[in-house]
Structure 1
Amino acid sequence: MMDRRIAILHEPRHRAYAKGMIDAAPDGYVVTVTEPTRTTDQNALLWPLLTDVSRQVTWYGRKLSNEDWKHIFTASLSKLDVVPNIDGSGFVALGQSTSRMGKRKFSELIELIFEFGARHGVVWSNHDDRGAA
């Protein structure tokens, strides 16, 4: 039985390796091709940006946590749906988790945060040493 294997396609030899894995796989195995996941630099940039927003922006009279802002930005980016919770006392946003975002979508999230911050007067901390989107 084969282990789970991943081939990152950078050049022709990587594609040949992936094709070889497919040829060697038993019937019934599954092949999935996905875009690259977010980078370490992107991930390292997210939390300082959310911290800057949470410290400087009051949202409808409330100071929100980094995690709350992450949910707000993710919901805005993905145009999420909202449903009542199980006891009817509140609501739950349905949609995409940042951990499942690819590089492109995560870059869009970072850009959305920068754009929001610009409109709301956020002064960004120095995060040059944390990488870039």
Structure 2
Amino acid sequence: MARQIVTLANQRLVGRTIQLVREAFAKKPGSRVEIKGPKRSNDQNAAMWSMLGDISAQLLWHVDGGRRLLDVEEWKLVMLDALRRENRDQLKLVPNTDHTGFVNISGTSSSDLEHEEMRDLLTIIRAFGDQHGVVWSEPKPKGDPRPAPPPSAYEDAQ
């Protein structure tokens, strides 16, 4: 059976979901059904990338015994790790292929975060940035039709 995602936005979709569950059980008992809370909002997503861009542009961090700027994707992984630790999720660390370090294979992706988890992640990012003296860029005014700049817009040209 193909993967199906339904957002429970109205009674018709609730009924459709019930129908899909019954069909899945009839065709393949033991099928898995996953119910998740609301996904992160577009505003939360924009705030996350803006904040990560600010941190990336302003903070040097410890990598391989030295200090360097991390890009926004690397900072996102650092902050997702902080969220997992805050939630006391078990980390799964394994040696990397050349045994010079470790890889976290816990598998959390920011796109999988629910609204509340994203709120917690933004709180962690803000607290970390405040603690390290990050000057936050101004949020985009509400109603501004221009798209938010992509994360690459915050990276320093090297």
Q: Which range is displaced more, 115-124 or 59-68?
A: 59-68
Give SS of 2:73's match.
Answer: helix
1:88 aligns to what? 99
> RMSD between aligned alpha carbons?
2.6
2:88 aligns to what? none
Listed as ranges, the gaps of 5+ residues in structure 2 are 86-90, 144-158
1:43-62 matched pairs, under 5 angstroms: 43-60=45-62, 61-62=67-68
Aligned residues: 130
Q: Deviations over 1:88-121 (max 9, x none)?
A: 1222122212122222212211111011111111
1:19 aligns to what? 18
1:39 pairs with 2:45: no
Q: Percent identity, aligned pairs only?
A: 35
Of residues 69, 72, 81, the one that matches 1:75 is: 81
TM-score by length of 2: 0.67
1:124 pairs with 2:124: no
CA-CA distance at 1:77 after TM superposition? 1.1
- Shift in alpha-carbon separation, 1:21–1:126, aligned structure 2, 3 A: same
Amino acid at match of 1:124: W
8 Å CA contact retained: 1:45, 1:130: no
Amino acid at match of 2:57: R
Listed as ranges, the gaps of 5+ residues in structure 1 are none
- Shift in alpha-carbon separation, 1:118–1:14, aligned structure 2, 3 A: same
CA-CA distance at 1:32 after TM superposition? 2.7
TM-score by length of 1: 0.78
Moved >3 Å (runs of 4+): 2-7, 10-14, 20-26, 128-131
